[in-house]
Amino acid sequence: MIDFEAIANPGIRGLRAYDPGHDLVALRRAHEGVLVELGSNENPHGPSPAATQAVLETLSQLYRYPDPLGGDLKRALAARLGVGISQLMLGNGSHELLMQFAQVFAGPGREVVASQFGFAVYALAAQAAGAPLRVVPAFARGAAMPRGHDLDAIAGAISPQTALVYLANPNNPTGTWFGADAFAAFMARVPESVIVVVDEAYAEFADAPDHASALVLQPRYPNLLVTRTFSKAHALAGLRVGYAVAHPDCIAVLERVRESFNVNMVGLSAAQAALGDEAHLRWSLARNAEQREMLAAALRERGYFAHPSLTNFLLVEFGPETQRIEAGLIARGVVLRPMAGYGLPECLRITVGDASENRRLLAALDEVLA
């Protein structure tokens, strides 16, 4: 028998694949289609009607390859963001891009720095590239931004061997964020040879006065990369469209490893249409903010700690009863995201559903607690 692990590249040996949490297809079948899915941070309010129409209009062209450059979507993004087309790179979701950054810039002897309780893909990207990973402790549980990024500590952890830093603002899975002033002070401390990636998958949801996109600092720092996705706020998770914004010279290097036709035709069309429907986006974000506050308040009333969040999910601490509570909810057709893989075994991450889904969650939770 061939030992495939032994002949794999060193960075792949012992690497554990991304864990989606649950086999949702099997759970849907078991619960006959009435599952309340609150574990994947999807947008329950759905995509723009314009995006849905764009999908339908594209279906007749499926025998064609998609635009390998994604030109129409890039032009729409450039106009919206105030950047040049040469500053944009499209990805099959932002996950693909996050992996490619490490592939291009990190490797043996070229380390990656990331925060504790950061998105799981950062560690996967480092290990797949064979790069050492330095994990910096997050803020303590009792801090003003519990379990959020400690930018001072991250800046202090950068060494001459550091090639790449991953940050998320707001962060998954904690929902926490760092302010614009703190990030500006952080970037002033980072050597220009170190690439800083800011993952802004949930940026559209962020409504705190001190939050700002890292894009505002890009003209000053050519080593700053920003990623975003159409999966969350734009509710196109099933089509997998993400993008990176960076200096044109950086994008030119990254393009060398981009897979050909990596964003499908339907995704390109739907994302462009979604980008043009600001009214739907504003409506969806407002519904999320309302339900997030309602859900956080309801959980606090039941005695649970919900982390501050600027996203479409809440990280909630359930204590020693976490596994029992999660199992009880699954038995009642409500799926949340377990957090043991993130080093948070007494927490569950709860996607903010619509009003009906959140009522079902709370009713099921009350049954389990009773």
**Residue holding tokens 């469209």?**
241
What digits encode the pLDDT tens for the residues 35-94?
888 999 999 999 999 999 999 999 999 999 999 999 999 999 999 999 999 999 999 999
What digits encode the pLDDT tens for the residues 245-257?
999 999 999 999 9
Q: Is 130 helix (H, G, I), strand (E, B) or coil?
A: coil
Report the percent of the chain where pLDDT is more than 70. 97
The interaxial angle of helices 355-369 and 322-331, nearest 10 deg, is 120
Give me the pLDDT at residue 9, please.
81
Average pLDDT rounded to a whole number, residues 257-261:
93
CA distances from 41 to 21, 58, 118, 140, 281 (A): 12, 27, 15, 24, 16
Give me the pLDDT at residue 11, please.
76
Q: What is the CATH number of domain 49-277?
A: 3.40.640.10
Average pLDDT rounded to a whole number, residues 323-340:
95
Give me the pLDDT at residue 45, please.
97
4-46+279-369: which CATH architecture?
Alpha-Beta Complex (3.90)
Give me the pLDDT at residue 232, please.
98
Furthest-apart CA pair in the chain: how many Å? 59
Q: Tokens standing for 328?
A: 């009880």
Q: Tokens standing for 279?
A: 């009214």
Give me the pLDDT at residue 24, please.
66
Average pLDDT rounded to a whole number, residues 325-341:
95
Checking if the pLDDT of 8 tops 90, the result is no
Checking if the pLDDT of 29 tops 90, the result is no
Give me the pLDDT at residue 33, please.
63
Q: CATH 3.40.640.10 in the chain, residues?
A: 49-277
How does residue 1 score in pLDDT terms, banded at 50, 70 and 90? confident
Give me the pLDDT at residue 12, please.
79
Integer Cα distance of 43 and 41 in angstroms: 7
Average pLDDT rounded to a whole number, residues 163-181:
98
DSSP letters, 9-56, are -TTTTTPPPP--SS-HHHHHHHTTT--EE-SS---TT---HHHHHHHH
Q: Which of 18-32, 47-61, 153-167, 183-197 has the least mean pLDDT?
A: 18-32
Integer Cα distance of 222 and 216 in angstroms: 12
What digits encode the pLDDT tens for the residues 204-217?
999 999 999 999 99
Average pLDDT rounded to a whole number, residues 323-346:
95
Checking if the pLDDT of 20 tops 90, the result is no
What digits encode the pLDDT tens for the residues 180-228?
999 999 999 999 999 999 999 999 999 999 999 999 999 999 999 999 9
Q: CATH 3.90.1150.10 in the chain, residues?
A: 4-46+279-369
Mean pLDDT of the chain: 95
How does residue 25 score in pLDDT terms, banded at 50, 70 and 90? low
